[in-house]
């Protein structure tokens, strides 16, 4: 029997992080996606234990201020792309408002730390979201283009092909063939 599971990455990450913090009996409050405040200071050993518990699942405690800001930018972009009602915002205005910095400053810090642009990160996240919507929700490209705030289906298709190397229809054929082979 094969099941298709729909999931929300933000919820999964939040629940996993909460579980790991509670396992260490840490008192904390959630400030936002990927941001928590500990009510007590951690010993070096407790911090190392927390880092080790989070690391196998791709979580990382960020300590450098520029890296913290870059992580906040990434979290805000992921929130923008994966929250269906946020996609009417222009990404530059959304980031500037959410993080209380000019978009130019955010862009410069992001590029300095990651050697890539915010725009490139947004495109990658949108294409990953589009793939998820095609596979799990079986939405049409028109619906996905509208949901992800693309100006047209052609624009989405072009970015999809530039990012993945294949067209959305070729991607769907591959997924269909894989599903048939699993039967």
- In this predicted model, what pLDDT tens digit does every residue of 127-146 receive, in sequence order? 999 999 988 877 889 999 98
Looking at the structure of the chain, the number of domains it has is 2
Please check whether residue 22 lies inside any domain of the structure: yes
pLDDT (mean) for 4-26: 80
Task: List the domain range (segments joined by +) for residue 175.
Answer: 122-182
The length of the chain in residues reads 183
Please check whether residue 75 lies inside any domain of the structure: no
Contact by Cβ (8 Å): 167, 160 = yes
Please check whether residue 109 lies inside any domain of the structure: no
The predicted pLDDT at position 24 comes to 84
What gap in Å lies between CA 5 and CA 11, rounded to an integer?
14
Q: Does 88 score more than 70 pLDDT? A: no
Question: Domain end: 61, 90, 113, which one?
Answer: 61
Please check whether residue 95 lies inside any domain of the structure: no
What tokens were used for 76? Answer: 């805000």
Question: Domain end: 61, 82, 109, which one?
Answer: 61
The answer to pTM > 0.85 is no
Question: Which residue is it, tokens 């407790």?
Answer: 46
The predicted pLDDT at position 17 comes to 82
Q: Does 123 score more than 90 pLDDT? A: yes
Hey, CA dihedral for 113, 34, 16, 175, is it positive or negative?
negative
């Amino acid at each position: 029997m094969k099941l298709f599971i729909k999931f929300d990455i933000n919820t999964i990450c939040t629940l996993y992080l909460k579980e790991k913090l509670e396992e260490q009996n840490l008192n904390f409050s959630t400030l936002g996606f990927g941001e928590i405040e500990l009510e007590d200071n951690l010993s070096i050993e407790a911090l190392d234990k927390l880092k080790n518990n989070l690391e196998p699942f791709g979580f990382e405690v960020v300590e450098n201020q520029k890296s913290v800001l870059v992580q906040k930018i990434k979290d805000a972009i992921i929130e923008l792309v994966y929250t269906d009602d946020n996609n009417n915002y222009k990404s530059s205005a959304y980031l500037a408002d959410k993080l209380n910095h000019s978009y130019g400053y955010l862009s410069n810090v992001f590029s300095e730390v990651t050697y890539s642009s915010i725009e490139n990160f947004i495109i990658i996240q949108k294409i990953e979201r589009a793939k998820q919507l095609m596979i799990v929700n079986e939405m049409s490209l028109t619906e996905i283009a509208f949901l992800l705030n693309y100006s047209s289906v052609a624009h989405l298709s072009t970015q999809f092909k530039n990012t993945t190397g294949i067209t959305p229809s070729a991607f769907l054929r591959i997924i269909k063939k894989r599903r048939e082979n699993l039967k």
